[in-house]
């Protein structure tokens, strides 16, 4: 069984039953599958779709969903792009046999980068938007607002000895699968990262900002940030993998102009995370027959390791 296999298969019938049972105003509305990932499944509600409902598929996702329900409304005003602020909060249901909380938010209009054709000029504008958004997310004012309600880096994204070992494992899996072979420079990069001391800075961090968790408009501009289940306090570097995996050099320049300077150690940490996340996404996409995502994840690896 794959590590991303669901513990509960949340399908359209179950989602519709839970929504209709708990929210009379939405009973009978059309429910359609939108997307699924390792931990959650998302369905649109309405015709045309107006709401996006997010259901955990695995128990490990439940604490993150509870954090989203508790905190995203406090975070949204600080950001210039939409995030999924819970409007409908669902409870476990004995009647439908579903044991976890779930929520619905206004549907954010946008597509994953894998499904958008990005022109070279688009990546510069995207870099500027992403840099400005993360500068706002990482600002001290937001840390003062919600930081004391967040765990510190629970997935150890900033722990480089731990993360380097996990990255080497993913790269071994990629090599055996024939999806991608890292150049020799990657081993040198990982060796250097493993020697980094623990990060001592802390900001409010999305915690899992990769290719599937940003939405773009048809012109390639940042349209929203989704899937905040790993929301935490952490070093800012854990939110910077897309600097490497999604942006080209002009896009990175625009990012830095909007975000500000990034220390070399933070750039190295984020580069390791970019490799780890793209490797995991490539393996997942290959197993799930998601051709566009697999292609984008491999392209992200190429961008990240390019000197």
Residues 22 and 160 grouped into a single domain = no
- Closest by CA position to 241, among listed 215, 205, 291: 205
The model's pLDDT over 222-270, given as tens digits with 9 standing for 90+, comes to 999 999 999 999 999 999 999 999 999 999 999 999 999 999 999 999 9
Question: In 3-state terms, what secondary structure has residue 278?
Answer: helix
53-82 residue pLDDT tens = 999 999 999 999 999 999 999 999 999 999
Neighbour count for residue 240 (Cβ, 10 Å): 26
Of 44, 48, 26, which is closest to residue 35 (Cα–Cα)?
Answer: 44
Considering the domain boundaries, does residue 5 fall inside one? Answer: no
Q: What is the DSSP string of 10-74?
A: --HHHHHHHHHHH-GGGTT--EEEEEE-SSEEEEEETTTT-EEEEEESSGGGHHHHHHHHHHHHH
Domain CATH number, residue 80: 3.30.200.20
Looking at residue 221, the DSSP 8-state letter turns out to be: -
Residues 97 and 125 in one domain: no
Tell me: do 119 and 237 sit in the same domain: yes
Mean of pLDDT values over 150-164: 95
Q: How many CA atoms lie within 13 A of 151 on its CB side?
A: 14
DSSP 141-186: HHHHHHGGGS-B-TT-TT-HHHHHHHHHHHHHHHHHHTS----THH
**Do 59 and 193 reside in the same domain of the chain?**
no
Q: Quick one: 289 and 271 in the same domain? A: yes
Please check whether residue 143 lies inside any domain of the structure: yes
25 phi/psi in degrees, rounded to 5:
-65, -20
In a domain, 7, yes or no: no
- What pLDDT does 287 receive? 93
Q: Look at phi and psi of residue 260 and say left if phi exceeds 0, alpha if psi is from -120 to 50, else beta.
A: left
Tally of domains within the chain: 2
The token duo for 273 is 């995370």
Query: Taking residues 128-153, what's their average pLDDT?
Result: 97
pLDDT tens for 198-225 read 887 799 999 999 999 999 999 999 999 9
Is there a domain that residue 1 lies in?
A: no
User: Containing H/E element for 225?
Assistant: strand 222-225
Q: Which residues are 111's β-sheet partners?
A: 216
- Please report whether residue 207 resides in a domain: yes
| Mean confidence (pLDDT) of the chain | 95
Prediction pTM value: 0.95
Asked if residue 6 belongs to a domain, the reply is no
CATH number assigned to the domain comprising residue 193: 3.90.1200.10
**What values do phi and psi take at 138, rounded to 5?**
-90, 5
Whole-number pLDDT of residue 120? 74
Domain extent for 97: 12-106
Question: Are 100 and 166 part of one and the same domain?
Answer: no
Whether 143 and 57 map to the same domain: the answer is no
Q: Residues 131, 49: one domain?
A: no
pLDDT at 190 over 80: yes
* pLDDT tens figures, 35-59: 988 899 999 999 999 999 999 999 9
Q: Give yes or no: residues 70 and 139 share one domain.
A: no
Contact 135, 142 (CB under 8 A): no
Domain boundary among 63, 85, 106: 106
- Measured distance CA(293)–CA(211) in Å, rounded: 8
Q: Please, which pLDDT band fits residue 1 given cuts at 50, 70 and 90?
A: low
């Amino acid at each position: 069984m794959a590590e991303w296999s669901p513990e509960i298969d949340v399908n359209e019938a179950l989602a519709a039953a839970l929504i209709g049972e708990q929210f009379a105003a939405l009973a009978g509305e059309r429910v359609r599958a939108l997307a699924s990932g390792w931990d959650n499944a998302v369905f649109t509600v309405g015709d045309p779709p107006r709401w996006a409902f997010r259901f955990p598929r695995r128990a490990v996702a439940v604490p993150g969903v509870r954090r989203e329900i508790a905190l995203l409304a406090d975070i949204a005003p600080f950001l210039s792009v939409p995030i999924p602020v819970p409007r409908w909060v669902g409870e476990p249901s004995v009647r439908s046999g579903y044991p976890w909380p779930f929520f619905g938010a206004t549907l954010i209009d946008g597509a994953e980068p894998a499904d958008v054709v990005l022109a070279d000029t688009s990546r510069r504008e995207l870099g500027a938007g992403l840099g400005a958004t993360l500068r706002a997310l990482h600002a001290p004012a937001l840390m003062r607002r919600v930081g004391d309600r967040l765990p510190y880096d629970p997935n150890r994204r900033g722990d480089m000895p731990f993360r380097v070992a996990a990255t080497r494992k993913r790269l071994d899996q990629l090599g055996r699968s024939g999806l991608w072979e890292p150049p020799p420079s990657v081993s040198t990069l990982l060796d250097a990262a493993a020697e980094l001391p623990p990060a001592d800075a802390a900001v409010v961090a999305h915690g899992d900002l990769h290719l599937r968790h940003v939405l773009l408009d048809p012109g390639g501009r940042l349209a929203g940030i989704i899937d905040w289940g790993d929301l935490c306090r952490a070093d800012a570097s854990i939110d910077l993998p897309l600097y490497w995996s999604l942006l080209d050099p002009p896009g990175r320049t625009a990012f830095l102009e909007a975000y500000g300077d990034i220390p070399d150690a933070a750039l190295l940490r984020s580069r390791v995370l970019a490799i780890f996340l793209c490797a995991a996404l490539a393996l997942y996409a290959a197993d799930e027959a998601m051709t566009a995502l697999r292609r984008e994840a491999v392209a992200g690896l190429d961008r990240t390791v390019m000197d």
